[in-house]
């Protein structure tokens, strides 16, 4: 029960981050999945995706209801995202886990720096 509650709280944190910022819930989930669920790193990366998809769908519904969604503006990104997601999913098996962590860390630092410097 205790682990289930912690897992639900981790999911709530990821959902809140995803809802507030439009992304980023996976950054919370990956370390929590490795610690709370004792998943190996590669399984944590893949499992985070399976959790984030429904969270994104909920956020999409909320943003649409609030009138904040520009679906026509998103479509070109979706097409590229489908290609990038396919390539990334195939590449991730070929990259050592340490490099996956480093790349994710660099991406987080880059995004954070861009947000702070505005």
Distance, C-alpha 91 to centroid of its chain: 17
DSSP 96: -
Distance, C-alpha 81 to centroid of its chain: 13
Q: What is the pLDDT of residues 4-33, one digit of tens each?
A: 887 888 888 888 887 777 777 778 888 888
Q: What is the pLDDT of residues 63-84, one digit of tens each?
A: 899 999 898 898 888 889 899 9
Average pLDDT, the chain: 86
CB atoms within 10 A of CB 80: 9
**Whether pLDDT at 111 is above 80:** yes
Higher-pLDDT residue of 115 and 98 is 98
Under the banding of pLDDT at 50, 70 and 90, the label for residue 94 is very high
**DSSP letter string over 16-29?**
HHHHHHSS-HHHHH
Domains of the chain: which residue ranges? 1-69, 72-118
> What is the chain's Cα-based Rg?
15
Determine contact, residues 13/27, Cβ cutoff 8 Å: no
């Amino acid at each position: 029960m205790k682990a289930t509650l912690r897992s639900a709280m981790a999911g709530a944190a990821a959902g809140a981050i995803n809802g507030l910022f439009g992304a980023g819930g996976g950054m919370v989930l990956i370390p929590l999945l490795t610690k709370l669920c004792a998943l190996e790193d590669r399984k944590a990366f893949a499992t985070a995706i399976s959790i984030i998809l429904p969270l994104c769908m909920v956020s999409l519904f909320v943003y649409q209801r609030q009138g904040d969604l520009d679906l026509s503006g998103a479509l070109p990104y979706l097409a590229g995202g489908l290609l990038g997601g396919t390539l990334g999913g195939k590449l991730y098996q070929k990259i050592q886990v340490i490099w996956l962590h480093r790349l994710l860390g660099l991406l987080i630092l880059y995004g954070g720096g861009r947000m702070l410097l505005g």
